[in-house]
Amino acid sequence: MNMNKLQFGKPLGMITLIGLSLSLISSGFGGETRTVTLGGEAGAAEKEITDRLNTPPFISLAWLRADLTGERVSEHDNDRNSNLRRPFKAFSGDISGRYIEIMAMDAENSSKTHTLMKELIGEAVKHQRKGGYFCSAGEVDWNNALDEKRGPNVFYPALWGNARMLCGLVEAYRADKDPVVLSALKKLGDFYVDTLPLFTDPSRKSEYVQRGWYASNYIICYFPAMEGLVNLYSVTGDKKYLDAAKYIDTAATMAKFFEQFDVLPVDHAHGMLCNHVGLLRLYEVTDDKYYLNRVEDRWQELVEDGYIQPPGGPLEKCHVFYKRDEGCGLTDWFRLNLKLAKVTGKSKYWDMAERVFRNHFLQNQSTKGGHGHRHMIGDKKGIRGFDSKITESTWCCIYHGRLAFLLMKDNLFTQDDKGLTCNFPLDFTSSTDDQEIVSSILPAENEGEIYRQQIRIKRGAPKKISMRVPHWATSVSAVDTDGKRLKTKLEDGFCRVPKTVSEATFIYRGGVFAEDRHCVRLPNGPKPGQPYTLWYGPKLLVTEENPPPATNWPVSIKGLEKAGFIPLSAKTRSKKVYFVFDFVGPES
């Protein structure tokens, strides 16, 4: 009998779930409503990044505000070998805006960091230019800046930083309703409204497309302001901010003008994805499917054409292959998928959000705790593995990485009159004054199970409970506290328990499966001439050897243990690992 032989590696150890956790109070530091604590692998990773943000240089006001002032922070400012260096001050409002955003969203951080956030907001207001914008280099003549081709480039980085500051100040205002913050926000929004004709002038297109370096050019740095303008509209109700961003047939606006530049490949995944988050925000407030269609079309192009890598995310440059990824881009891809899942209800977006968070994003975290750049192993058709090198990015990824955990906790489940709907199989606890929900990941008890997820409503009224059926599970069922099978129904990609209960345990069944390198399931296993990846449950399986020892297909998880595969975990962050392999076979 002919057997298909694959090349594999050495012993598989299943993921250890540990109980370290941090909390999110969802209404922000100004009004506590719901506390969410992550556990397990995700909780441990979140603790690392939060601890990191409570150490130098991130607790220095001077260090944070330098992109508002341009000041020299210390003798380490230009020392590439020092973690204390303060780079990229020209990106006016970038670090400071990101810091304000995550601290405003994260009420469970220390009082010291929230005090620092308020001090930073005070500095921002003090250093806002008379035109409403922020620029560490001083006042800018924006008409003349467009002609700048050589020399110090200040206006592109300033535009990028202002877009991040806009998002940060909106979150600060939502959390604390400070009229000083609102005044600064309106001035910054007015800057974008007032300069709209300058930055959307068709006669100046040749100037716009003159590229700076990859993260400093018009296309990347100007259009991310769409997200902040929509958010500003949502807190003020002032339509001029929405009109500046949205598509209007008779006027040059951001969304309309951006369309002609919105092509792949692009040299900055983070910027491109920020732009698409802005388009999706426009859909959320206008219900105009023009925006949704653009984002869904881009999603399909990214996945089908190989820009999204097997672990679930893009690379730093949004090319099919580049030497490294970027934590910011991974967070943006994660949050874009969360938004798409919520507004469309389509399972593929929940699946992609889980894929990138649990595989690619967590593997991007450095041993120091901050996110940054994981280096890649690959070829012109895409990556084949992770190199051991991870460079922590203190100037952007550590803040955007923290944002991803906050977003995950805000999207773990929803509640309404129909019951409790859980979107991710993760360990967490959610508490309010009158309710406590605990989700616990438990080991498999029977052959063919991946694991179990127990949902307990420890305090509060019983609910009808629903659980998303992920793409990696062949089925999901539920049992009660006595282990008896509960009646369920499959509806819209969710396994629903139609009666109210205080506890239910959901059983995820499945096995090892293979995909091609474009995230497409191979139902009959790998094919000759086609690179493949291997999965068990939500985790991509990797080996430290390439090529690994051979084993037969189909293969069990026990067979992979013997062959040397392990799931991506905290242990593999510091190792060179491979996950795209070439089919070998068939052989007798």
211-261 pLDDT per residue, tens = 666 777 888 999 999 999 999 999 999 999 999 999 887 778 999 999 999
Indicate whether 520 and 572 sit together in one domain: yes
Indicate whether 8 and 72 sit together in one domain: no
Assess contact for 400 and 418: CB atoms under 8 A.
Answer: no
Pairing type for strands 382-392 and 372-379 reads antiparallel
Pairing type for strands 419-422 and 465-468 reads parallel
Q: Is 499 within a domain?
A: no
Q: Is 321 within a domain?
A: no
Number of structural domains the chain divides into: 2
Indicate whether 8 and 69 sit together in one domain: no
State the pLDDT at residue 208: 83
Q: Is 316 within a domain?
A: no
Q: Is 516 within a domain?
A: yes
Helices (H), 288-425: 289-304, 327-344, 347-355, 362-363, 397-410
Q: Is 495 within a domain?
A: no
Average pLDDT, 10 consecutive residues per value, the chain (588 residues): 35 28 45 82 97 94 96 86 86 97 79 82 97 94 67 77 98 94 98 95 84 75 97 97 89 90 95 98 97 98 98 97 98 98 97 98 97 96 96 95 97 93 98 96 96 97 97 98 96 96 98 95 89 96 84 85 92 96 61
Indicate whether 106 and 176 sit together in one domain: yes
Indicate whether 8 and 104 sit together in one domain: no
Q: Is 584 within a domain?
A: no
Indicate whether 8 and 61 sit together in one domain: no
Indicate whether 83 and 187 sit together in one domain: yes
Indicate whether 8 and 101 sit together in one domain: no
Assess contact for 355 and 311: CB atoms under 8 A.
Answer: yes
Indicate whether 135 and 8 sit together in one domain: no
Question: Domain limits at 558?
Answer: 4-12+512-578
Report pLDDT digits (tens) over 126-163: 999 999 999 999 998 888 766 555 434 678 899 999 99
Boundary (domain end) residue, out of 186, 211, 236: 211
Q: Is 382 within a domain?
A: no
Other C-beta atoms lying within 10 Å of the C-beta of residue 332: 26
Quote the CA–CA distance of 447 and 469 in Å, as a whole number: 19
pTM reported for the whole predicted model = 0.93
Assess contact for 84 and 57: CB atoms under 8 A.
Answer: yes
Q: Where are the beta strands (DSSP E) in 435-564?
A: 436-443, 449-459, 465-468, 475-479, 489-491, 494-496, 503-509, 512-515, 521-522, 533-536, 539-542, 550-553
Quote the CA–CA distance of 307 and 321 in Å, as a whole number: 8
Q: Is 310 within a domain?
A: no
Indicate whether 8 and 87 sit together in one domain: no
Boundary (domain end) residue, out of 178, 211, 244: 211
Q: 3-state SS of 91-102?
A: CCCHHHHHHHHH
Indicate whether 73 and 186 sit together in one domain: yes
Helices (H), 3-154: 40-53, 61-69, 94-105, 111-126, 142-145
Sign (positive/negative) of CA torsion 392, 279, 256, 143? negative
Boundary (domain end) residue, out of 211, 230, 253: 211
Indicate whether 62 and 172 sit together in one domain: yes
